[in-house]
Amino acid sequence: MGNVGPPAGFAVVNLGCKVNRVESDTMSARLLQAGFAEASRDEAAVIVVNTCTVTAEADAKTRKAVRRAAAAPLDPWVIVTGCAAVAHEDELTSLGNKVIVVGEKPAACATAVSLLSQAALSSGSAPCCAGGSEGQARARFGERFNSRVGIKVQDGCDNRCSYCIVCIVRGPSRSVPLLDVIEEASCAVAAGARELVYTGINLGSWHNDGGGDLTDLLEASLDALPQARIRLSSIEPLDVTDRLLMLMAASKGRLCAHVPMPLQSGSRRVLRSMRRPYTAEQFLHVTRRARELVPHVAITSDLIVGFPGETDEEFAESLAVCQEAGIGRLHVFRYSPRPGTAAAVMPHQVPPATMAERSLAARELSDRLAAADAAARVGNKELVLVESHGVATSESYHRVLLTEPLAAGIERGALASVRFDACDGTTLLATVCGQQPL
């Protein structure tokens, strides 16, 4: 028998949103389960680039990632998938002789398996011993993956926001059946996951074919997964119902008291131009109800600055709404025109320099709001998820540094009860009170 080389290696490069992260982890898990080895980009025979096209900056990052992958030393095959692959197939294909554009993730994963198998045969190597069960492949938990496991429960979007191309590249809203969600979540919990992040492109639109909305899914999940807590990914303001908030309050920390909901603008006129389905007043009403029903809730949000026609006064309205709502942290995006969207051809496009000034002001406000929210939690107790030795994430979505005395035997991915002793800017300093089994 001749020399057998190392198993054919792959690398997955992720760009973009939390849904992309879940999809990238799923592809990695399936390739590992098929017996292929994960490698660095410089040592991979196949590189998968999972792309984003939500802004011009995202497109630039995609092109850079594809070029870098194509230039790797082993002359790998580069499989480009995701939103940019759908929007810019011809452009991305032209970036290298061995670049293959496959928009759908399952097809991209199948292509990777085929190319890795060919690479293994040509090098005289073979896949590692097959990597385990389908359930293990779906778990996506362990040293290789995030300690918080994302569960994609929904994809696509039926909204037609004037600035957004996601509804075009992702397609219409569709929901993962309830039993399938529970099965995938159960695999993750069985593998050791203690925090699950339910994600979707329009999470609040989830529904079951037999009836039932997102709150029904969460109730069923809490019943079926007593060892885990669940965190919501971004959810539209009007989907944050009293019923959902009451479930959050009654769950005693098992449904994280953290509501990430996008504002995008605090101006009534700008929201209407964006084709957002709510007003700033409605957004504020939801935040007030959240604090009434879940007093310790953390609210984070997204803000777009420099939307076409946005005036200084309208930008100031956005900052005022964020302050009045008590937002704990802002994700700030500069408006980016997307070809094929209504906003791209609107008059009065805001100059880049003005957008940069507004972005800086909004980010400075975000830092102040996050620091204020952290300071307000000093003296409280909370469950945190240990991300690494001495570092954790709180239920309220703050970074936490664990100080002595540390409870013995608390491993990465475990939940711990802590007391917040102080804060350093936006980071909380905490003493561990004990490991917390759910």
Instruction: Give the bridge partners for 14, in sequence order.
Output: 50
In a domain, 2, yes or no: no
Maximal C-alpha separation, the chain: 76
Stretch 2-24: mean pLDDT: 82
For residue 99, is it within any domain?
yes
Tell whether 344 is covered by a domain: yes
Q: Is the pLDDT of residue 129 over 50?
A: no
Does a structural domain hold residue 1?
no
Tell me: do 394 and 342 sit in the same domain: no
Say whether both 123 and 177 belong to one domain: no
- Whether residue 4 lies inside any domain: the answer is no
Looking at the fold, whether 415 and 293 belong to one and the same domain comes out as no
The residue from 89, 106, 132 where one domain ends is 132
220: left (phi over 0), alpha (psi -120 to 50) or beta: alpha
Q: Are 412 and 404 in contact (CB under 8 A)?
A: no
**In terms of domains, do 219 and 112 share one?**
no
Percent of the chain whose pLDDT exceeds 70? 92
Distance CA 226, CA 196 (A): 12
Confidence tier at 408 by pLDDT (50, 70, 90): low
d(CA 52, CA 50): 7
Tokens 């908030």 identify what position?
A: 245
What is the layout of strands, in order, in the sheet containing 37-38? 37-38, 9-14, 46-51, 77-82, 99-101
Please say whether the dihedral angle defined by the alpha carbons of residues 79, 85, 89 and 93, taken in this order, is positive or negative: negative
User: Model-level pTM?
Assistant: 0.91
**Is pLDDT at 330 greater than 60 in this prediction?**
yes
204 and 306 part of one domain:
yes
Q: Tell me: do 102 and 163 sit in the same domain.
A: no
User: Which residue range(s) make up the domain with 153?
Assistant: 140-376
Same domain? For 158 and 112 the reply is no
**Digit-coded pLDDT (tens) for 76-93:** 999 999 999 999 999 999
Structurally, the chain folds into a number of domains equal to 3
Nearest Cα to Cα of residue 95 among 74, 71, 119: 71
Sign of CA dihedral 186, 190, 196, 201: negative
Contact 426, 365 (CB under 8 A): no
Which are the contacts of 257, defined by CB distance < 8 A and separation ≥ 6? Answer: 248, 249, 294, 296, 297, 298, 395, 396
The phi, psi pair for 226, rounded to 5°, reads: -65, -15
Matching residue, tokens 């030795």: 389
Could you give the 3-state DSSP secondary structure of residue 51?
strand
Does 197 reside within a domain?
yes
For the chain, give the number of residues.
438
71 lies in a domain? Answer: yes
SS3 content of the chain, % helix, strand, coil (to 5): 40, 20, 40
Q: DSSP readout, 135-195?
A: HHHHH--STTS-SEEEEE-EE------TT--HHHHH-S-EE--HHHHHHHHHHHHHTT--E
Cα–Cα distance for residue pair 367/377, rounded to 1 Å: 16
DSSP track, 276-297: -SS-HHHHHHHHHHHHHHSTT-
Q: Measured between alpha carbons, how far is residue 281 from residues 174, 196, 278, 286, 322 in Å?
A: 29, 32, 8, 9, 12
Contact yes or no for 387/147 (Cβ under 8 A): yes
* Strand, helix or coil for residue 30: helix
What is the pLDDT confidence band of residue 126, given thresholds at 50, 70 and 90? low
The CATH number covering residue 104 comes to 3.40.50
Better-predicted residue by pLDDT, 436 or 201: 201
Query: Residue 123: its pLDDT value, please?
Result: 66
Q: Please choose, from the candidates 360, 236, 355, 336, the residue with its C-alpha nearest in 3D space to the C-alpha of residue 286.
A: 236
Average pLDDT value for residue range 183-205: 95
3-state secondary structure of 399: strand
Q: Which of 281, 275, 376, 362 is nearest to 325 (CA)?
A: 281
Q: Is 90 a domain residue?
A: yes
pLDDT digits over 315-324, tens only?
A: 999 999 999 9
Judgement on whether residues 197 and 302 belong to the same structural domain of the protein: yes
